[in-house]
Amino acid sequence: MVESDEEQLEVLKNWWDENGTSLVITVVVTVGAIFGYRAWEENVIETGEAASAVYENLLVATDNIATNGSDEAVRITALSLADTLKSDHGDTTYAVFAAMRLAKVAVTENNLDMAVEELRWALDNVSESHLETTIRVRLARVYAGLEDPASAMALLVDHQPASGQVASVEEAKGDILHAMGDLELARQAYQRALENMNEEVEKPTLELKLADLPLSASLTQASLMQPEIVEEVLEDDDLAEDEEEDDELAEQVTEDEDA
């Protein structure tokens, strides 16, 4: 039976009375979600670009500190830029890099308390596991420089690094144990570091540490913690060579957050 136009219109009215409100709500919610997501996406891009720009300026400022450490204006600028990243972009990796950068400067100036503060902030706010391991190793070395081996080892003993970072962690453990005077455990840590070393990476310093370890048996713990040895620990590969790694990670973060 073919319905008349009036009957079809009545059916449509009844359907609308029953479903019209929910349909409108569904359309509004869907459209709102689309526009909301686009606004969020644009905000993420803008935030990432802003954080990237501040971090680039921080790199320039900290480089200037390295070449002209007596310029107080440069130092204030670097601290201000780092504070901006932490306060305005604290949920980005740029803020973590900023803290790490300031810690590196602090170590070169032998301001180890400041280095601890910055690295602690970085560790509390980092989300990438690879970067967390780098921070832990650096912070452990700074604690070793402060003659606090217990705090240093606490950062590493139960930490599970990625396979590519085991060597760095074990070498740091070896340095700390060596400074504590536990030469046997230090030897074991150095050996594990060598066993986990990438075959393409040459590490003559680590091999030398392991080879010379028996010669250090007559050294006391106090002599092992003399400033020149502490300085050597602080300037080891995890604080010197990792600058290139920082730059590579920063470039990756830029690509990820600006994508």
3-state secondary structure string, the chain?
Answer: CCCCHHHHHHHHHHHHHHHHHHHHHHHHHHHHHHHHHHHHHHHHHHHHHHHHHHHHHHHHHHHHHHHCCCCHHHHHHHHHHHHHHHHHCCCCHHHHHHHHHHHHHHHHCCCHHHHHHHHHHHHHHCCCHHHHHHHHHHHHHHHHHCCCHHHHHHHHCCCCCCHHHHHHHHHHHHHHHHHHCCHHHHHHHHHHHHHCCCCCCCCHHHHHHHHHHHHHCCCCHHHHCCHHHHHHHHCCHHHHCHHHHHHHHHHHHHHHHHC
Name the band, by pLDDT with cuts 50, 70 and 90, for residue 67: low
Residues 235-255 have a mean pLDDT of 48
For residues 217 and 232, what is the distance between their CA atoms, to the nearest angstrom? 19
Asked whether the predicted pLDDT for residue 30 surpasses 50, the reply is yes
- Please give the pLDDT value at position 230: 38
Whole-number pLDDT of residue 225: 39
pTM of the full predicted structure? 0.67
Per-residue pLDDT at 163: 79
With tokens 């920082």, the residue in question is 246
With bands split at pLDDT 50, 70 and 90, how would you rate the model's confidence at 7?
low
Q: Region 39-49: what's the mean pLDDT? A: 49
Residues 71-124 have pLDDT tens digits of: 677 778 888 888 888 888 878 889 999 999 999 888 888 899 999 999 999 999
What region does 147 belong to: left with phi over 0, alpha with psi -120 to 50, or beta?
Answer: left
pLDDT of 5: 63
40, pLDDT greater than 90: no
Report the pLDDT value the prediction gives residue 20, as an integer from 0 to 100.
64
Nearest CA to 165 out of 139, 140, 125, 130 is that of: 130
Give the pLDDT score at 79.
83
Tell me the per-residue pLDDT of 186-236, one tens digit each, with 9 for 90 and over.
999 999 999 998 776 677 888 888 887 765 444 444 334 333 333 433 444
Could you read off the pLDDT of 124-169 as tens digits, one per residue? 999 999 999 999 999 999 999 999 999 999 999 999 998 789 999 9
CA distance 92 to 82: 12
Residue-level pLDDT at 204: 80
